[in-house]
Amino acid sequence: MKIRLMLAAATLATTLATLHAAPPVPLTGEVLEVLNVEAYTYLRLKTPQGETWAAVPSAALKKGAQVTLVGAMPMENFESKTLKRKFDRIYFASLGAGAQPDGSGSKTARSNSPHGANVQASAVVAKVPKASGADAKTVAELVSGRAALKDKTVRVAGQVVKVNAGILGKTWLHLQDGSGSSAAGTHDVIVTTTDAAAVGDIVTARGTVRTDVAIGAGYAYPVLVEDAKLQR
């Protein structure tokens, strides 16, 4: 009996650790209700898993829109003082590429940053060769192996698919190199830098890996490459 309890406890601990380590996956669904406030747009979504609420930086969305939200982080028992409403659970996220605000089915979308202005997001990324050097990682290797890479310097090459400037004094870039899985959230990594870059640029970023980074307002990131220098 004691051995069974010990095995059950070990299994539970492993399961919880796996869930905690898993990066957030995209949240996709149909907009059933839209509530706009000064800085955020609250969305009631119909997803394959059922109805849920989400909040993104202000966006022009209408009922019936099909959206994909990235970086979705759940918050329990969240109270919006502006709406004077409490949500049992709500996801804070960014609007991802492929959103259809008016149902037109466009291939790209305006994506919102946590604190910055709208930017153009790229929809398709070609395979980008892995950077050279002992500290080189693909995007998938970096995201999947973030625990072992914490506080280490890495070099990652990729295509810039999203740019958010002027956030906490830095520019935040989303890099993809064709590796990883969008379903598992291992295909995209965020890089912070003071160097200039534009959507579509192929760059090599060298910076320090940070994990479980929270920047307030419900935004948290499993992994970032911080203070990176860019090379082309």
Nearest CA to 149 out of 194, 207, 230 is that of: 207
Q: What is the CATH number of the domain that holds 154?
A: 2.40.50.140
Residue 8 lies in a domain: no
Model pTM above 0.85: no
Report, as an integer, the average pLDDT of 14-32: 57
Residue 12 lies in a domain: no
- Antiparallel, parallel or unpaired: β 189-193 and 219-231: parallel
Domain's final residue, options 72, 94, 112: 112
Structure tokens at 140: 């998938």
Q: What is the CATH number of the domain that holds 41?
A: 2.40.50
pLDDT tens column, 95-109 = 765 444 443 333 333
Q: Does one domain contain both 33 and 97?
A: yes
pLDDT value, residue 228: 96
Residue 25's pLDDT band, with cuts at 50, 70 and 90, is: low
pLDDT tens column, 166-182 = 777 888 999 999 999 87
Q: Quote the number of domains for the chain.
A: 2
Residue 10 lies in a domain: no
Residue 6 lies in a domain: no
Domain that holds residue 216: 139-231
Q: Does one domain contain both 173 and 93?
A: no
